[in-house]
Amino acid sequence: MSVGFRILNRDRAVPADLVARFARLPVANVSDSMHRMTAGGDRLRKMHRDGVLAGVAVTVKTRPGDNLMLHKAIDLAQPGDVIVVDAGGELTNALMGELMLAYAIRRGVAGFVLNGAIRDADQFLAMNLPVFAAGITHRGPYKDGPGEINVPIAIDGMVIHPGDLVLGDSDGVLAVPRAVAQEVYEKTVAKQDAEVKQMAAIEAGTNDRSWVDAALKRLGCEFPA
């Protein structure tokens, strides 16, 4: 086995119908349903104009500034996949630009999460495929390897396995482990329903705020006499 320079198969994935249902939910509520313990970090910036990211992870681990394995991942990706790349967060060289983006769109890739940089930023806005990256630079990539495809990777402590669900909106990026995706979905829907009721109470002027004083008293806050 050539650890560090290999391509593996992805043998399991979150079902497409579940991905579609998650795509309608705010990432913040999904995060709350995972006890707010998982995040891709604030370095991952939205590079597209609008729209949400939702798809099944194809993972790539590559040497900083090198995109050979990212090219191969686009060749291997199935429609609806999200390609997630750990390139160490290095921003000196871009991992991809408009030509790779156009090819990925042609292949049906649902989006990218890049712990590295892009270039041709205006074209990312124009083409508007959901892409999150750590930065922008005009300096191009190398194509020498090594790297790995479909291995577990991590971005800012967020672990992503091939086949996991990857979500992104204006609040950031989140990975939901495949094995618990259905459970997280059900919890998120329940939270979403509760928030709809709370918003209705706010608009009606009947929102119960007694919990604020109760929490302060429990924590020992001193109130004015």
pLDDT digits 0-9 by tens, 38-94: 999 999 999 999 999 999 999 999 999 999 999 999 999 999 999 999 999 999 999
210 — phi, psi (to 5°)?
-65, -20
Using pLDDT thresholds of 50, 70 and 90, give the confidence band for residue 170: very high
The answer to whether residue 16 scores a pLDDT higher than 70 is yes
Task: State pLDDT tens for residues 99-155.
Answer: 999 999 999 999 999 999 999 999 999 999 999 999 999 999 999 999 999 999 999
Closest to 171 measured CA to CA, from 69, 55, 84, 44: 44
Using pLDDT thresholds of 50, 70 and 90, give the confidence band for residue 188: very high
CA separation for the pair 165, 84 (Å, rounded): 11
The answer to whether residue 225 scores a pLDDT higher than 80 is yes
pLDDT on residue 1: 61
**Number of residues that make up the chain:** 225
In contact, 59 and 68? CB cutoff 8 Å:
no
Give the burial class of 103: count Cβ atoms within 10 A of its Cβ; 0-12 exposed, 13-18 middle, 19 or more buried.
middle
In contact, 101 and 127? CB cutoff 8 Å:
yes
Place of tokens 């459970």: 183
> 81: how many CB neighbours lie within 10 A of its CB?
26
Kindly report the average pLDDT of the chain as a whole number.
Answer: 97
